[in-house]
Amino acid sequence: MSLIQHPGTGFEIGDPQKIPLTQKEAPSRESVLESAQSLILSASGWRKVFAWPAANDAYAPWSAGKSVIRAGDAHTKAPADNSLSPRISPEDRVICALMAKTFGDFILERKNAAPARQGAVKSQPGGAQGKEPDMQPAIILGIDSRPTGPAMADVFARVLLGMGIEVHYCFIIAAPEIMAFAATSGALPPDDDRHADGFVYLSASHNPPGHNGVKFGLVSGGVLSPAEVSPLITTLKAFLGREDCVSLALSLIGAAKPQQLTKCYISVSSWKRQAVSAYTLFTHEVITAEHELADQAKFLDTLAAECEKRPLGIVGELNGSARSTSIDEDFLAGLGIKTSFINDSPRAFAHRIVPEGSSLSLCALKLQEARKLDQCFELGYVPDCDGDRGNLVYYDRRAQKARALEAQEVFALSCVAELATLALSGRGSAPGANGTAAAGKTAIVVNDATSMRIERIAAQFGASVFRAETGEANVVNLAEQLRSKGWTVRILGEGSNGGNITHPAKVRDPLSTVGAMIKLLRFTDSTGQNLFRIWLESCSQEEPYRPDYDLSDIIDTLPLWSTTSVFEERAALRVKAGDHAKLKTAYRDIFLREWEQRKDELRNRFGIETWRALATNGSHEKEIGDDFALSGTGGLRIVFSAARGIRVQDKAFLWLRGSGTEPVFRIMADIDGGTHKDEAYLLDWHTRMVRAADS
């Protein structure tokens, strides 16, 4: 027995001598195809339920061994949803091998297509130098904290090593951390022993713990684009369609030598240390918006000095996620922030993995307890399992209790913080007349389900807002397109889903969100100017300012919008229609009739005068007149406008988009200055039209 365990957690990494799939254990091709039927293949990741529970296996403590099905969660009806089993089935080992082969071929093809580096010198361990006719590609491999991660990674490592690809295995690592490490490693010279050509990250994000999956990336700092993922999906399907797919997987899994695997597995601590270093430096750049180290240090020193003058405390309820092995505690402590971390060991799952609704209750409770002991505690955060998304709780001083922030509120506050940071540095746009966006080149990029409150916030800073179809990759791609045209895009994200992406990051990160809140609450420059005051001045609000302001004071100054949470049950409608365009055509016919019947009521109640329809497909948004089918499988937004003197101002919208993975249409309503009753009125109308279209 040569089982290697992780020195920090004690979890099993793998046994180099034990091949995880032998001819004796090989499944039939039919059973592999049956298992693959539940695969979700998209630009956001490839995933399914991988846990293979036995009779005595543990389940997530909140599920009592039963499937938990909630709006907003990807799921199956199998009880393995919430299984904590570390095993994966023989069928899924075949699938993992073919996934690894798919990405391995992609990396090798890219390497072979690059100019040959004949005679290139690659550094060897111990400082020795050796010549190779061409560089061996290298991939960074990481997992989140799900129990099935090591078993899947064992298959991936064996296949990639057997294909002649180096594997820099970090074991449990947060998604933003592995992506920052990939970007740093990719920037090194090809002959550097630490150079990497891409990454493989095994995770199912916010889905239940029995789920798992994979995300692929190069060294840009983010995942592959939809255009890059699409041919990989085709390749994987072709491998699964082969008559010899099982024997192919067997040969792939058995190709690596035990010595290679031993070296790979005993090196995890070394690669993880390097990842932590790269991520720390990267986070400094993200938080400060400064590229030079000296400027970063000056900004962080100023922030730390303000936290010393006026202490700030933060609760981190990490829910057993991959962030429990990351830089969070050290980074916050370095700013002089008092912290209280709970459930900060990998797999210490205390509640659902999705950081929404009831999943924030424990953090709110712990923040209240910390506040009783020390009045400086104001914030708390909860990440999902891979640690790329986190939502916030804060202490409401007037209500004297902690409460959770809505995802849309979190994004709005983050936008205020980052646009004010740009304004303070003199790098933002100037606002236009009458609160409209100026002709400057500062932009925010959001998904189509983000509240139009963001347009109001952006206009106060002279920034423009651009929208993409829901899906993080779409938002990131649109931001890159705008930057290539000279736009400054400091902040972007899916406001409807929580968290934000702050340049140069290309993935959501709780530290970016928490960092934005810290700056908003504490950063003050040498002239005494702070971000909250800049925000108030930008929208001509001076009265709310006070020196001891907290997040409640800032929230009170945000434009008032009422918005459906995408994580509510009423935001997901089960439908029979499989043709999205056909359903939207039927919806159009119903909407046009309803508009004629309701337009007087809408004018009298909301001031609504006109409407227009917009479609979002990938990274593009366009007006589509009354041909709603032109939105295809993308998002459809019906924007209502009201007259404001000689100007027309957007007042509200209805949004719908069909899921690509289940028979569900996501819907929402968003209204300026409205109450929950106003939002409920619009959503109820929207719901009845969708149901009528479906029937």
Both tokens assigned to 663: 């028979």
Residue 561 has pLDDT above 60, yes or no: yes
Q: What is the mean pLDDT of residues 594-618?
A: 96
What is the DSSP track for 484-518?
A: HTT-EEEEEE-TTTS--EETT-SS--HHHHHHHHH
Report yes or no: 422 and 441 within 8 Å, Cβ to Cβ.
no
Q: Across all residues in the chain, what is the average pLDDT?
A: 91
126-130, 137-141, 171-175, 567-571: which range is least confident on average?
126-130
Contact 139, 162 (CB under 8 A): no
Per-residue pLDDT band for 31 (boundaries 50, 70, 90) equals: very high
Mean pLDDT of 570-592: 93
Q: Is 382 exposed, middle or buried (0-12, 13-18, 19+ CB in 10 A)?
A: buried
Distance set, CA 80 to CA 62, 65, 354, 391, 671 (Å): 14, 8, 17, 27, 40
pLDDT band at 225 (very low <50, low <70, confident <90, very high): confident
Q: What is the pLDDT of residue 577?
A: 84
Rounded distance between C-alpha atoms, residue 404 and residue 317, angstroms:
13
Q: What is the side-by-side strand order in the sheet with 138-143?
A: 40-42, 45-49, 211-217, 198-202, 138-143, 166-172
Q: Cβ contacts of residue 363 below 8 Å, gap of 6+?
A: 315, 317, 380, 381, 382, 393, 402, 404
CA gap 391, 508 in Å, rounded: 11
Predicted pLDDT at 536: 94
Tokens of residue 446, six digits:
């959001």
pLDDT category of residue 473 using cuts at 50, 70 and 90 = confident
For 103, 454, 650, the CA distances from 491, given in Å and listed in that order, are 30, 11, 22
- Rounded Cα distance between 470 and 566, Å, is 12
Model pLDDT, residue 498: 79
pLDDT, greater one: 65 or 638 = 638
Phi, psi of 134 (to 5 degrees): -160, 155
Helix 226-241 vs helix 90-113: crossing angle, to nearest 10: 130
H helix runs in 114-254, sequence order: 149-162, 175-186, 226-241, 245-253
- At residue 62, the pLDDT reads 84
First to last CA, the chain: 61
Q: What is the pLDDT of residue 437?
A: 45
Tokens linked to 245? 């797919």
Cβ neighbour number for residue 30 with a 10 Å cutoff: 10
Which residue, among 328, 334, 296, has the nearest Cα to 315 in the 3D structure?
328
More confident residue, 90 or 78: 90
Q: What band does 433 get if pLDDT is binned at 50, 70 and 90?
A: very low
Does 126 score more than 60 pLDDT?
no
Q: How many CB atoms lie within 10 A of CB 154?
A: 26
Report CA 382 to chain centroid distance, whole Å: 13
Residue 588 has which token pair? 């159009």
Distance, CA of 358 to CA of 355 (rounded, Å): 8
Q: Is the per-residue pLDDT at 184 higher than 50?
A: yes
Burial class (CB in 10 A: 0-12, 13-18, 19+), 256: buried
Look at residue 351 and tell me whether its pLDDT is greater than 50: yes
Question: Sign of dihedral through CA atoms 301, 491, 170, 294?
Answer: negative
Q: How far is residue 654's CA from residue 637's CA, in Å, rounded to a whole number?
A: 6
Contact 602, 608 (CB under 8 A): yes
Strands of the sheet with 338-342, listed across from one edge = 338-342, 313-317, 377-383, 390-396, 401-404
Residue 133 has pLDDT above 70, yes or no: no
- CA 152 to CA 57: how far, in whole Å? 18
Distance (Å, whole) CA 596 – CA 590: 10
Cβ contacts of 431 within 8 Å, gap of 6 or more: 437, 438, 459, 460, 461, 462, 538
CB burial readout 444-471, b (16+ within 10 A) else e: bbbbbbbbbbbbbbbbbbbbbbbbbbbb
pLDDT of residue 73: 38
Whole-angstrom Cα Rg for the chain: 26
Cβ-based neighbour number of residue 271 at 10 Å: 23
The pLDDT tens digits of the residues spanning 474-533 come to 999 999 999 999 999 999 999 998 789 999 999 999 999 999 999 999 999 989 899 999
pLDDT at 122 over 60: no
**Other beta carbons less than 10 A from residue 577's beta carbon:** 18
SS (H, E, C) 626-674: CCHHHHCCCEEEEEEEEEECCEEEEEEEEEEEECCCCCEEEEEEEEECC
> Would you state the pLDDT for residue 77?
40
Q: Is the per-residue pLDDT at 357 higher than 90?
A: no
Give the model's pLDDT for residue 470: 92
The pLDDT tens digits for 614-649 are 999 999 999 999 999 999 999 999 999 997 665 779
Which residue, 557, 555, 568, 559, is CA-closest to 669? 568
Lowest mean pLDDT among 252-266, 283-297, 557-571, 653-667: 653-667
138 beta partners: 166
pLDDT of residue 431: 58
Q: Average of pLDDT values for 63-70? A: 51
Element (H, E) at 47: strand 45-49
Look at residue 429 and tell me whether its pLDDT is greater than 70: no
**212-224 tens-digit pLDDT:** 999 999 999 889 9
On the 0-12 / 13-18 / 19+ scale of CB atoms within 10 A, 396 is: middle
pLDDT bin (cut points 50, 70, 90) of residue 261 is very high
Q: What pLDDT sits at residue 89? A: 96
Judge contact between 237 and 229, C-beta under 8 A. Answer: no
- 8 A C-beta contact, residue 279 and residue 180: yes
Distance CA 445, CA 474 (A): 10
| Of residues 143, 142, 121, 141, the one with CA closest to residue 132 | 121
Total H helices, total E strands in the chain: 19, 26
Q: What is the pLDDT of residue 65?
A: 56
> Containing H/E element for 371?
helix 361-373
Instruction: State residue 71's pLDDT score.
Output: 34
Q: Give me the pLDDT at residue 325, please.
A: 97
Q: 227 or 520: which carries more pLDDT confidence?
A: 520
* Crossing angle of the two packed helices 90-113 and 245-253, in degrees rounded to 10: 70
Q: Which domains does the chain have, with CATH numbers?
A: 19-55+86-114+132-275 (3.40.120.10), 289-559 (3.40.120.10), 569-694 (3.30.310)
- Cα 490 vs. chain centroid, distance in angstroms? 17
Question: Pairing relation of β-strands 464-468 and 488-493?
Answer: unpaired
Q: What is the mean pLDDT of residues 368-373?
A: 97
pLDDT of residue 129: 38
Question: For 381-427, how does the pLDDT look when each residue is reduced to its tens digit (9 = 90+)?
Answer: 999 999 998 999 999 998 999 999 999 999 999 999 999 999 998 87
Q: Residue 430's pLDDT is what? A: 56
